[in-house]
């Protein structure tokens, strides 16, 4: 790959070589707008580079398509390609194991976030205690309805108390 150049011509040539795909003048101008190179200048530079043989181009009517010259790029030999494939496979395995680990950690995070905090447990237990107390004090409830309601509250309270005790240990 040729060295990077700082002139407008060098910037355009570097861009064409970095992209290494077919481009028209508009594509190049849009991409190099941040360098302050206008479309007219890009068209002149591309024509100059094509005439010098630094890039290839094909004409399709009025439209010109510009390409990086492929003979300037190193072509890896069979051994290097095999090494690259193996390295790619290893990296893919690492990515997959990382994705698996991330999924497990996200599941654990969701589980932790869905659990009640100690403060929430204490508030819920107080609320249930108050509701049980109100049930006993309400004269409209019969003994049978009180025992059914009490069983519901005792079960909820027991679950919360169990969680609280586990956290204290």
> Which pTM was predicted?
0.48
Residues near 164 by beta carbon (within 8 Å), at least 6 away in sequence: 118, 121, 122, 125
Class of the domain covering 8-72 = mainly alpha
Q: Domain residue spans in the chain?
A: 8-72, 114-169
Handedness of CA 85, 87, 90, 95 (dihedral sign): negative
pLDDT digits (tens, 9 = 90+) for 120-143: 888 888 888 887 777 667 655 555
Residues 6+ apart with CB under 8 A from 153: 128, 131, 132, 135
Residue 73 Cα distances to 17, 19, 20, 44, 96, angstroms: 9, 12, 10, 25, 32
User: What integer pLDDT is reported at residue 118 of this predicted model?
Assistant: 81
What number of residues does the chain have? 169
Per-residue pLDDT of the chain (169 residues; tens, 9 = 90+): 454 555 889 999 999 999 999 999 999 999 998 888 899 999 999 999 999 999 999 998 888 999 999 888 888 899 999 999 999 999 999 999 999 999 999 998 888 887 778 888 888 888 888 877 776 676 555 555 555 556 666 677 667 776 767 777 6
């Amino acid at each position: 790959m040729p060295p990077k150049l700082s002139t407008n011509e060098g910037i355009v040539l570097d861009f064409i070589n970095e992209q290494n795909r077919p481009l028209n003048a508009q594509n190049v101008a849009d991409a190099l707008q941040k360098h302050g190179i206008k479309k007219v200048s890009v068209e002149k530079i591309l024509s100059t580079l094509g005439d010098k043989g630094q890039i290839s181009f094909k004409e399709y009517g009025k439209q010109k398509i510009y390409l990086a010259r492929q003979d300037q790029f190193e072509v890896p030999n069979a051994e290097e390609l095999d090494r690259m494939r193996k390295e790619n496979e290893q990296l893919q395995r690492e990515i997959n194991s990382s994705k698996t680990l991330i999924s497990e950690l996200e599941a654990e995070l969701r589980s932790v976030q869905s659990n009640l905090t100690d403060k929430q447990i204490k508030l819920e237990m107080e609320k249930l205690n108050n509701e049980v107390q109100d049930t006993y004090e309400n004269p409209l409830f019969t003994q049978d309805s009180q025992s059914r309601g009490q069983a519901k509250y005792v079960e909820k309270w027991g679950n919360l108390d169990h969680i609280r005790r586990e956290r204290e240990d």
